[in-house]
Amino acid sequence: MKLVVLRIGHRPMRDKRITTHVGLTARALGANGMLLAADDPNVKESIDNVVSRWGGDFFIEIGVDWRKAIKRWKEEGGMVVHLTMYGLNLPDVIESADLTNSTNSIGVMRNRDLLIIVGAEKVPPGIYDLADLNVAVGNQPHSEVAALAIFLDRVQDGAELRGTFAGCDREIVPTNVGKLVIDRTSG
């Protein structure tokens, strides 16, 4: 299953930090990459820096035309999930009784490549129709970072938290007290 985030509505002056957090969250929680529908090299640089130090092969593409990206994704057989507070609530789509026949089900999503759309302030109305599923992580307004994190965790059953990142310069050894980091660049 390939998981790619499509970030739309990014405003370079206001959203640099939160869009970077969307990318870092996507990477840390098992997504393969992020498509940014805006031209902001600063976001790309921040995320690429993290990838080069902390490993893995997460990619970020900027200046993406979201209509073309969605079209291509569907043509290649992938599914498009738009995270929005107005959508079907996540626990309901996860618990859908008929996993084989219902299109409104995470069961249908499990073995599909997913393009996961998150917005900033407002998304273009067309997105709701282009998406195969509009999914809410609770039907209350909150944040694209929180919505993405919970969605990625649920769709992977928590397995992403045990993920490893090949080719890292540094690696954390989990400890209860203090910080223990192995420097893979020395010796």
- Bridge pairing between strands 181-183 and 170-172: antiparallel
Segment near ligand SAM (CB under 6 A), from 44-52, 118-126, 163-171, 175-183? Answer: 118-126
How many degrees, rounded to 5, is the angle at CA 30 between CA 27 and CA 33? 50
The nearer residue to ligand SAM, 88 or 168, going by C-beta atoms, is 88
Contact status: 86 vs ligand SAM (CB under 6 A): yes
Q: Closest Cα to residue 104, out of 88, 91, 117, 126?
A: 88
Contact status: 119 vs ligand SAM (CB under 6 A): yes
Contact status: 124 vs ligand SAM (CB under 6 A): no
Structure tokens at 128: 């709701």
Burial class from Cβ neighbours inside 10 Å (0-12, 13-18, 19+) for residue 99 reads middle
Contact status: 25 vs ligand SAM (CB under 6 A): no
Contact status: 17 vs ligand SAM (CB under 6 A): no
Residue whose Cβ sits closest to ligand SAM:
119
Q: Which residue type sits at 185?
A: T
Query: Footprint of ligand SAM on residues 35-74 (CB under 6 A)?
Result: none
The nearer residue to ligand SAM, 60 or 123, going by C-beta atoms, is 123
Helix (H) or strand (E) holding 72: helix 66-75
User: Which CA distances in Å does 54 have to 17, 57, 122, 148?
Assistant: 19, 10, 33, 21
The nearer residue to ligand SAM, 47 or 135, going by C-beta atoms, is 135
The nearer residue to ligand SAM, 54 or 84, going by C-beta atoms, is 84
Cβ 150 to ligand SAM, closest distance in Å?
A: 8
Residues 54 and 28 sit within 8 Å (Cβ to Cβ):
no
Which residues of this chain interact with ligand SAM, rule CB under 6 A? 83-86, 118-120, 123, 136-138, 140-144, 147
